[in-house]
Amino acid sequence: MTRIIDGKAIAAAVGNRVREDVAALAAAGLTPVLAVVVATDDPGATWYVRAIGAAARRLGIGCHVHDLGPAASAAAITGLLAELSSDGRVHGIICQTPLPPAVPPGLAAQQIAPIKDVDGANPQSLGMLAAGMPGAFPTATAAAVAEILDHEGAVLEGRRAVVVGRSTVVGKPTALLLLARNATVTICHSRTEDLAGVCREADSLVAAAGRPKLIGAAHVRPGALVIDVGISSVGTTGGVAGDVDTGTVTGIAAAVTPVPGGVGPVTTMQLMRHTADAARDLAG
């Protein structure tokens, strides 16, 4: 039987730990503060920023949203990020995507000081992660995948892990976290030959391609843990689908995350955890 992993329950458990950490910091006179820079009116981004604000409020974390509007210039965005990076009252910073088309990708993120880069957006953070250097955060999504695998008791050391997707937001940092847990990691992408055959080698399979139902029965080794990061809009009524065709892997996988209700809620809580950790690190 395939278990459907309850991402909301895992998120709640992470949230409880973060709440305790925040209470301990508050007792020492420190309230973690997350700054969210927004330069878009994209509905998905607006929804996510609201969810971040609500989670922060529930956990006692300060959340300041700086909405520059969808016409913001690159100079306004980078200037604000640099200012927040040197503001001692701010502990975590995220720059919500998408950014206005005129802002070169990566330029904004480079202004976020790695110690405050709680969503691992600065390429320097990814480099530090790759080098195994302390002091950098992985993206919240990659941390969520690792958290779910840990929570599920996945044995990673010495075992095969396959990550489908090589973006800097999900695929690469996830692969690095699994490598750090001594898994033997393969990264697949759109040019991978025999995707199903490669995926079938995985004890832990992470799907992060953004292609609905890409991963089916032919891709899953019996007993594998399957983490579905993909979220794609489907239909006209606001529905979403993951990368995994859950119906066809049921009975083959040991467990699979649902979409929605799997990786998403855990990602938001990882962002909170990173913010509390950043506040503690900055306070020395």
| Contacting residues toward ligand NAP, per CB under 6 A | 141, 164-167, 169-171, 188-192, 195, 208-211, 214, 229-232, 263-264, 267
Alpha carbon distance 152, 204 (integer Å)? 11
DSSP letter for 99, please: P
Q: Measured from the CB of residue 134, what is the shortest distance to ligand NAP in angstroms?
A: 24
Helices marked H in the chain? 7-27, 43-59, 74-85, 123-130, 140-151, 171-180, 195-199, 246-249, 263-283
By beta-carbon proximity to ligand NAP, the closer residue of 25 and 56 is 56
By beta-carbon proximity to ligand NAP, the closer residue of 11 and 33 is 11
Alpha carbon distance 246, 190 (integer Å)? 21
Q: Measured from the CB of residue 24, what is the shortest distance to ligand NAP in angstroms?
A: 27
By beta-carbon proximity to ligand NAP, the closer residue of 29 and 191 is 191
Alpha carbon distance 187, 168 (integer Å)? 12
Which of 282, 280, 270, 278 is closest to 15 using CA atoms?
Answer: 270
Q: Measured from the CB of residue 189, what is the shortest distance to ligand NAP in angstroms?
A: 4
Q: Measured from the CB of residue 140, what is the shortest distance to ligand NAP in angstroms?
A: 7
Q: Measured from the CB of residue 263, what is the shortest distance to ligand NAP in angstroms?
A: 4
By beta-carbon proximity to ligand NAP, the closer residue of 70 and 258 is 258
By beta-carbon proximity to ligand NAP, the closer residue of 53 and 76 is 53
Q: Measured from the CB of residue 25, what is the shortest distance to ligand NAP in angstroms?
A: 25
Alpha carbon distance 147, 242 (integer Å)? 19
Would you put residue 84 in left (φ > 0), alpha (ψ -120 to 50) or beta?
A: alpha
Which of 103, 85, 101, 83 is closest to 93 using CA atoms?
Answer: 85
By beta-carbon proximity to ligand NAP, the closer residue of 164 and 179 is 164
